[in-house]
Structure 1
């Protein structure tokens, strides 16, 4: 048996599978995020530890035989978070999360230093780890002075499970401290980030052994033999493993809290100026690129709270068949934006509201705005040379047939809808554990899911959606000028 743990922004999920991928158990625990100031986003790492212990205890209760035969654990986690530890591995402050934008000035400064983009393969975004440490050094110098180690969220969870400090490469690629081409810490980047004096964890690949489950925990969960804990993967890298997206020509579009279009790459081919992320994959000798819009289903959830109607009901009110685009435009920049504009200050807006417009029109505008932001990501990916002619739709928002039809038409690209089942980050993490324990080839283990159906572009509406998109991309500069 193999366990995949997915540490998300809103909770932790565990998925227990056998070597053939059959699900034998699952459990989840939710937790919250603190926003003490505008643009800040933090979590207490003890929430992750408590959630992990509850998830594994629940699996031990509901699937004791499967847990007793557990051979390996893989961990997926949200990227870029900064967990600061002292010499005794004590947490010094809450983790600054991926969607925290306080370090925008530090990011801009770091991004201008010679060779930083070239070595890391990326623009230094405010959400990345390195500028967070520069912010702490400036505004919390006493905390910085005590800092001996910096680890990413899922790697802190592995520290709890194994007692060992390790950093996994796909996650480290989002820190701005890793040479993403060589897959090693860069002394130049560590110096630029002013942490070259810290003790950086040893690096491991996602399917590489990274320690064994501590004896105390094995005993607690009824496991008598050694359990390997592998490197695991950053959330999107692990999701790609779950969806079978490993190599060039394969890709997915994810409608989750954030929106992502991810494509596999067989080589390191960054173009940072596009604001596309170029990261190491969770399997050796592969990379991936992705464009990110920060608020996808988050945008619909935000509007749902205001409207007082559940997101699924809002989506259902649009009907089953895609209609012409709405003249109301929504900029989904509720937390700033990444690809392609790299703007942490811009905020969302509706443009073109009319007294005749009702709830359904605004729902459509929100979905359309997210879709057009993702089309910008797709065009940025094409600019890097990434080739993909179809995408797999994953994430909670992909359960809306209307939204998938809209994306297929706006992208002018077929979108495959997978059969029902688990194929996300938790499955990807478990698959990495299978590879680590058995030595099996990742391409053999990380196969794509079965396809329920394919949504093709609505040819009658292509011109209308292209025209609406052209208007959408003209709005950002005008709105930004007055914000």
Structure 2
């Protein structure tokens, strides 16, 4: 008996056929085009994602479809898609990289008590959450807001296609700024901010919920048997955390993909004890929570640089300088959701001199992301969650140079598992949990790691550069507000 696990990030979709012991039998990968323009729009075409999902699932199941008994999904958070009563999309799916809600966020912020909303929802006041996207829709696309029967995330939309009813699960719902983390129910006060009723949101089920068999038309499209059972699953970062063994005491999970995160498992929804609201707390599974924070800008910054330099054919590691650079890169190309950074932030290169070349730019980008990750780790430490080591997943974890930079900036060893896709392994663990297997949440299978220790010569250099990074960030706060980069559309 096997599992078809599908993980969908911002730019890539991965489908794998695995057995219940976590062994990967077949993998399929597809790119997901991101639709962007000068207005701040960053959408996925939901129909195109469905087509890629079907193609990847069929490829992964090829040669073993009769053995597949369960289908489990993990997808990115912070997406929003209005659909009609038949489940048809009314527009593109607004992704976590969509910056248009910055236009209307100040008005929403003025109507809320940020500290009170944070205490209830575990989500700090930043524009990337679906709450802010709903406010933008209400103000800028009122005809769509009124016509929508449901507002869904990407996984909710796919589950609607697969089983015929709109459902979500709490690892996604606690990242909407619409759910009360203390009750795991939609929060009436948050909904009232955007004149929304809970009936227009999907039903919330546990991650281990067994949602029933595939609809016959979905089974036919995927080339699977009609008896294949759908399991709700968790979000992509949660699946990575489970696959990395992040529930082990003293271990934190780090994902380094298009975006990035650091999180540590906890037995309650831990909030930041300071007024800065730096931590988000999302549900994971089986009564466990996943407090931490994320950056909107990670791998996307390196891809942008590769395009600018005309070197998409070369790995960033091959382009970067071998030693730390004196150039500071604030890598906030898509704004930033980390609450210690202004929601109007943009990318900044500071200290640029005539002797700097492409290698310095690439190295500075890697270092800038690492400095942002250190902000997160220090917030966790200040709130009693101090991991002794980090386990890393995502495409960025394939770069030995970036792992050494991160270990040196963060001051802890970084371990990279010798598994191709930890998120798919995490999906298998959720299936095991749904089946009531006693060791469901244990790390499967025992996996060797490549371990990266902090580079002793780099540690003091980066301590100094991180202080400069923080000072520059503080100095630019007023400039970001004054110039309002990204808050007004260029057209449309």
TM (normalized to structure 2)? 0.90
User: Matched residues in 2 for 1:162 and 1:193: separation?
Assistant: 29
**2:341–2:473 CA contact under 8 A, matched in 1:** no
Structure 1 residue 312: Cα displacement: 4.8
Contact in 2 for aligned 1:249/1:264 (Cα 8 Å): no
Aligned match for 2:85, one of 84, 87, 106: 87
Q: Aligned to 2:472, which of 475, 480, 483?
A: 475
**TM-score normalised to structure 1 length:** 0.92
> Which residue does 1:44 correspond to in 2?
45
User: Does structure 1 retain, via aligned residues, the 8 Å contact 2:257–2:395?
Assistant: yes
| Per-residue deviation, 1:480 | 3.8
Change in 2 beyond 3 A, CA 1:400/1:57: closer
Q: Structure 1 residue runs of 4+, over 6 Å off? A: none
- 1:115 aligns to what SS in structure 2? helix
Please show how residues 214-229 of structure 1 align to structure 2 within 5 Å.
214-221=215-222, 223-224=224-225, 226-229=227-230
**Displacement after TM superposition at 1:114 (Å):** 7.2
In the TM superposition, residue 466 of structure 1 has moved relative to its aligned partner by 0.6
Q: Which residue pairs with 1:337 in the alignment?
A: 336
Q: Output the CA distance in 1 between the equivalents of 2:225 and 2:270.
A: 45
Q: CA RMSD in A?
A: 2.2
1:371 equivalent to 2:373? Answer no
Deviations 1:3-51 (A, max 9, x none): 1111222232211101111112121222312124432211221112111
Cα distance in 2 for partners of 1:315, 1:231 equals 37
Match of 1:462 in 2: 459
- Give how far 1:173 is off: 0.6
How far apart in 2 are the matches of 1:235 and 1:343? 26
Q: How does 1:29-428 map to 2 (within 5 A)?
A: 29-60=30-61, 62-63=62-63, 66-104=64-102, 105-106=104-105, 107-109=108-110, 111-112=112-113, 115-196=116-197, 198-221=199-222, 223-224=224-225, 226-246=227-247, 249-271=250-272, 273-281=276-284, 283-310=285-312, 312-318=314-320, 323=323, 325-419=324-418, 421-428=419-426
Aligned residues: 474
Q: Give the Cα–Cα distance (whole angstroms) in 2 for the partners of residues 448 and 224 of structure 1.
A: 27
**Distance (Å, rounded) in 1 between the aligned partners of 2:397 and 2:224:** 38
Say if 1:389 and 1:55 are closer, same or farther in 2 by CA, change over 3 A: same
Q: Secondary structure of the equivalent of 1:176?
A: coil
What SS class does the counterpart of residue 457 from structure 2 fall into?
Answer: helix
The Cα shift of 1:247 comes to 5.9
Residue 447 of structure 2 is matched in structure 1 by: 450
Q: Is the 8 A contact 1:243 1:449 kept in 2?
A: no
Residues 1:57 and 1:153: Cα distance change in structure 2 (over 3 Å)? same
Shift in alpha-carbon separation, 1:19–1:121, aligned structure 2, 3 A: same
Deviation sequence 1:87-133 (CA, Å, 0-9, x none): 23222221111111222333524653673211101213211111211
Deviations 1:173-198 (A, max 9, x none): 11111111222222232223321263
Secondary structure, in 3 states, of the residue corresponding to 2:334? coil
Measure the CA separation in 2 of the matches of 1:187 and 1:173.
14
Structure 1 134/384 Cα, relative in aligned 2: closer, same or farther at 3 Å? same
For the residue of structure 1 that corresponds to 2:168, the secondary structure is strand
1:285-337 deviation line (CA, Å, top 9, x unaligned): 11011222221111111111122224754413557xx63x3111111111112
Which ranges of structure 2 fall in alignment gaps of 5 or more residues?
Answer: 484-492
1:59 to 1:454, Cα distance in 2 relative to 1, 3 A: closer
Give the Cα separation in 1 of the matches to 2:466 and 2:445: 31
Greater mean alpha carbon deviation, residues 216-225 or residues 381-390? 216-225
CA contact (8 A) 1:274 1:384 kept: no
Q: Which runs of 5+ in 1 are unaligned?
A: none
Q: Is the 8 A contact 1:84 1:92 kept in 2?
A: yes
